[in-house]
Amino acid sequence: MGARGEQALEPADLALKLATKDAIRGAGGQEFLSETLGRAQSRFSDYGSPNKPDFMPIDLVRKVQALGAGKPGWPHITHALARADGFDLYKLPETGASRGDWLKHVGALSTEAAEITSKICDSLADDQRIDAREIKTHALIADAEQLVTLGVQLLAQLREEVGG
């Protein structure tokens, strides 16, 4: 229980509240959204408050996220929902954007895979472990994200070739 008898939020719900607050800021803030979307400013405050039980309705989530498109962390709420269920998000390429030179794409994928593999092997060489310092020093998270992005692009290209 919270300070005034309200239920404490579970971690996933708290993350959703924080993501909602970030999405509201990214879309222009409570007052802007109130004027633009015709809802009371206090509702937007409640949606982002961990002390209020209300969550933003899904139709409103799409509108708020659309207004904040391209801002750091976007789409905030969608990311929080995905993480709560054990997923991560990677943006698909625009339709037709994946068409291109197959050899170039597969080459980039192979190069990135080789680079991260080499860095992981270097990290493992001394003690058969990878610690936080090595992850940061070798930028392994950024490399892994780039590798996944290239894989998602390849998947989109393959799907586009078969029409789906």
DSSP structure string for 75-106: SHHHHHHHHHTT----PPPPTTTT-S-HHHHH
118 and 80 co-located in one domain: no
- Domain range for 25: 11-84
78 and 110 co-located in one domain: no
Average pLDDT value for residue range 84-95? 85
76 and 40 co-located in one domain: yes
Average pLDDT value for residue range 128-145? 95
pLDDT of 8: 83
Q: What is the pTM of this model?
A: 0.74
Judge whether 96 lies within some domain: no
Average pLDDT value for residue range 59-70? 96
Judge whether 93 lies within some domain: no
Judge whether 35 lies within some domain: yes
Name the token pair of 123. 């990290």
Domain boundary among 28, 55, 84: 84
Judge whether 5 lies within some domain: no
Judge whether 97 lies within some domain: no
Q: Give every CB contact of residue 100 below 8 A, 6+ residues apart in sequence.
A: 157
Comparing 96 with 107, the larger pLDDT belongs to 107
Indicate whether 141 pLDDT > 70: yes
Domain boundary among 84, 115, 138: 84
107 and 156 co-located in one domain: yes
Lowest mean pLDDT among 2-6, 59-63, 68-72, 111-115: 2-6
Total number of domains constituting the chain? 2
76 and 114 co-located in one domain: no
pLDDT of 79: 95
Percent of the chain past pLDDT 70, that is, above it, reads 91
Average pLDDT value for residue range 22-39? 97
Indicate whether 88 pLDDT > 60: yes
80 and 110 co-located in one domain: no
Helices (H), 8-164: 11-26, 30-37, 41-48, 58-67, 76-84, 102-124, 132-137, 140-161
Judge whether 46 lies within some domain: yes
Average pLDDT, rounded, for the chain: 91
Select from 17, 13, 6, 84 the least CA-distant residue to 47: 17
Judge whether 6 lies within some domain: no
Judge whether 37 lies within some domain: yes
pLDDT of 5: 46
pLDDT of 2: 45
107 and 67 co-located in one domain: no
108 and 58 co-located in one domain: no
pLDDT of 90: 86
